Amino acid sequence: MMALILLAILAVIAAGYLTKINISFYAIATAYLIACFGMDLSAGDLVKLWPVKIFFVILSVSLFYNVALANGALEKLAGHLLYQCRHFPNILPLAVFAAATLIAGLGAGFYTVLAFMAPLTLLLCQKTKMNLVIGSMAVNYGALAGANFMTSQSGVIFRGLLETSGIAKEAAFGYTSAIFVTTLLVPVVILGGYSLWNRRMSAISIQAEKPEAFTTKQKQSIFLIVLLMAIVLTFPILHLIWPQNDWVSWANAKLDIGFLAIVFTLVSMMMKLADERKVIALVPWGTLLMICGMGILIGIAVKVGVVEAFSGWVSGNVAFWLIPVVLCCIGAIMSVFSSTLGVVAPTLFPIIPTIAAYSGLNPALLFVAVVVGAQATAISPFSSGGSLILGSAPEGIDKNALLNQLLFKAIPIGLFAAVIAVILAQLVM
């Protein structure tokens, strides 16, 4: 049964990739056949494996942040940030990265930021003669790093997966913070190094028009986002500082980002900051289904002991100091053809607590290794990030050449940097 489920997981990922059909449909159908006909579980038992908490949190957070997307606040903010760099052309890659990070960190999420910033970035590359690979890496890394922020889309998903894996709420916050910091520093080093190396030879020239001023509703949306972030982040930090304070502990336990996001969405709707129908339509339903569908299939794998068996094999056959690098490379290979949020994290996160217990390694290091590796290759043309970038290429850019550059330049650079980052992370974690 273990071998059957492992083969099923691989088959589901391959089928989704080959047919371009959301893998959630394959995952749910496969889980049903295995659980009800191979394991004699009831349909009710299978439904209980649907990750209700993760579904609710992603839905509620997306609804709130979609208000600022629907009224154009976040897109306009990106334009203002890039405009401020018109006199500093050599740092344009860092400026693109910073803009994408900030917008994603304010809640837009990875896919949404790429959807409206990838065309802008490739157009900038065309107009300013910025290197296409560097431009693509800058916007991709920025969207990833910002989305990993503890209150943004990927960060919220990671926290939900961690808590589902049995990690305490406070520890999950700390591990997610480590993921965010690491995925922020790695691209800064890569892009900063490129900017320094290229400062004398660069032919980049920026001629940008000043964006329009923010409207009142757009300002109010950004204010509400900052306020929600402040509330959600303040109490976990206070609890880390004063763990014995009863009031801080009580407040930290009661505050939930999912329900707070619904409250803030209601406030936004009452203030008429955006069209409600557009806000609902912008929910990333495909990602939501993919995460929950894979969650059911992984839940079946947990029930038959696949997680424990694989964790024991890794711990027994790989030198302890190599385990983080191995997890990094496994995540990277999986991410070339699949989604970090929908496949890599739901598949690998459940095995990490057991591997950490076997090996004595810091769980934070292992979670960081998986995400850093997966996001190093997320720019693959066969994955969601790279395909969005490739599809955003304007006329005048050779898409076949760009595909080869993403595959044979961007991925090796990203993976090399990820492995080095994980090795260095072992010194501090």
pLDDT band at 203 (very low <50, low <70, confident <90, very high): low
pLDDT at residue 61, as a whole number: 82
Q: Which two tokens stand for residue 249?
A: 């502990």
> With left for phi above 0 and alpha for psi between -120 and 50, is residue 340 left, alpha or beta?
alpha
The answer to whether residue 65 is domain-embedded is: yes
Each residue's pLDDT tens digit, 123-142: 777 777 778 888 899 999 99
The answer to whether residue 298 is domain-embedded is: yes
Each residue's pLDDT tens digit, 58-114: 788 888 888 988 898 877 887 777 777 766 667 788 888 988 898 888 877 787 788
The answer to whether residue 207 is domain-embedded is: no
Residue 18 scores a pLDDT above 80: yes
Enter the pTM of the model.
0.78
The answer to whether residue 408 is domain-embedded is: yes
Exposure string for 387-398, b = 16+ CB within 10 A, e = fewer: bbbbebbeeeee
The answer to whether residue 414 is domain-embedded is: yes
Which helix (H) or strand (E) segment is 325 a member of?
helix 323-337
- Considering its fold, how many domains does the chain have in total? 1
The answer to whether residue 350 is domain-embedded is: yes
Each residue's pLDDT tens digit, 205-260: 555 667 788 999 999 998 998 898 888 778 878 877 887 888 888 887 788 888 99
The answer to whether residue 79 is domain-embedded is: yes
Domain that holds residue 270: 2-202+212-428
pLDDT at residue 199, as a whole number: 62
- Return the half-sphere exposure (C-beta side, CA atoms, 13 A cut-off) of residue 331: 33
Each residue's pLDDT tens digit, 263-289: 999 999 999 999 999 999 988 788 788
pLDDT at residue 376, as a whole number: 92
The answer to whether residue 232 is domain-embedded is: yes
Average of per-residue pLDDT across 172-194: 91
User: DSSP strand E in 202-248: where?
Assistant: none
- How many C-beta atoms surround the C-beta of residue 219 within 10 A? 13
